[in-house]
């Protein structure tokens, strides 16, 4: 099966910039449709801006994605929450900021990495401890976040159910989960160690895709592939990456960029 993938669009700017963004997003949609994508995943930071401008940017960016008949799934990023979460979910037609869906015998899990963030007021001591990870070192910066207890428990149930039914799993999160797939300037999910430990207990996790880093990177841990995707925002800068396609076969996982071709050719155990 194949799916289209794109991250860090950062839809914003004057009329000329917005026109170029719309044109290039439509080119991505054409690429996915021509090449037989089953669905599209947007990995977060869809917009820039604040207040009314952020809301306008979100409406316009989503209107581009609605020109395709392909199912489009959205992952919340830190910039996305310039729009209040409830409004973001309503506009993106999501029931929850974290969710799962199945396709072609694979369970796809979307995580909400801003579940706990600098503005949160956790009521649970465990979540206050997760929030306290923010700023503890250079990798836990103030524009990232953590996954809270309820979402961790939900993720564990999803992974257990997938293991029981022998379903392969693919995970999506805006924030990278391994230092090898980010840098200190961009940082990581605050409780990345907690999440990667949980994922590592399940040998059916094929991979985890992230954005935020703005560059292409790959690492492997506990048999799972961790992949950061290059930012659409930087598509006009070397190496001119744009949007991509992920192909999952019986023994290979391939990630291809629309403009530059193969990014990763990875073995599935």
Gap between the Cα atoms of 10 and 234, Å rounded: 10
Average pLDDT, the chain: 96
Domains of the chain: 2-267 (3.60.21.10)
Cβ atoms of 5 and 229 closer than 8 Å: yes
Write the pLDDT tens digit of every residue in 195-223.
Answer: 999 999 999 999 999 999 999 999 999 99
- Does residue 229 surpass a pLDDT of 90? yes
- Does residue 269 surpass a pLDDT of 90? no
DSSP 213-239: EES-EEEEETTEEEEEEEPGGGTTSTT
Gap between the Cα atoms of 32 and 66, Å rounded: 14
Any idea what DSSP says for residue 11? B
Between the alpha carbon of residue 134 and those of residues 67, 127, 149, 192, the distances in Å are: 38, 12, 16, 12
Q: The pTM is what?
A: 0.97
Range 177-204 burial, b when 16+ CB lie within 10 A, else e: bbeebbbeebbbbbbbebbbeebeebeb
Beta-bridge mates of residue 173: 210
Write the pLDDT tens digit of every residue in 62-87.
Answer: 999 999 999 999 999 999 999 999 99
CA atoms within 13 A on the CB side of 24: 22
Write the pLDDT tens digit of every residue in 110-145.
Answer: 999 999 999 999 999 999 999 999 988 999 999 999
């Amino acid at each position: 099966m194949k799916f289209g993938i794109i991250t860090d669009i950062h839809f914003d700017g004057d009329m000329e910039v917005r026109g170029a963004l719309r044109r290039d997003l439509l080119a991505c949609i054409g690429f996915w449709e021509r090449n037989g994508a089953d669905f599209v995943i947007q990995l977060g930071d869809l917009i820039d801006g604040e207040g009314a401008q952020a809301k306008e940017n979100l409406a316009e960016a989503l209107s581009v994605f609605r020109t395709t008949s392909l199912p489009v799934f959205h992952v919340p990023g830190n910039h996305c929450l310039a729009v209040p979460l409830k409004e973001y979910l309503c506009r993106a037609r999501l029931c929850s900021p974290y969710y799962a869906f199945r396709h072609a015998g694979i369970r796809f899990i979307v995580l909400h990495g801003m579940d706990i963030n600098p503005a949160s007021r956790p009521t649970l001591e465990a979540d206050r401890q997760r929030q306290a990870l923010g700023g503890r070192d250079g990798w836990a910066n103030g524009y990232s976040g953590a996954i809270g207890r309820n979402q961790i428990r939900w993720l564990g149930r999803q992974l257990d159910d997938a293991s029981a039914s022998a379903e392969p799993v693919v995970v999506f999160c805006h924030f990278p989960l391994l230092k090898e797939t980010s840098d200190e300037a961009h940082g990581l999910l605050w409780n990345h160690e907690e999440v990667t430990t949980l994922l590592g207990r399940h040998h059916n996790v094929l991979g985890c895709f992230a954005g935020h880093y703005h560059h292409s990177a790959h690492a492997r841990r506990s048999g799972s592939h961790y992949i950061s995707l290059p930012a659409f925002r930087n598509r006009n800068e070397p190496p001119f990456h744009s949007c991509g396609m992920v192909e999952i076969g019986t023994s290979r996982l391939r990630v291809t960029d629309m403009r530059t071709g193969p990014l990763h050719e990875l073995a599935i155990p």
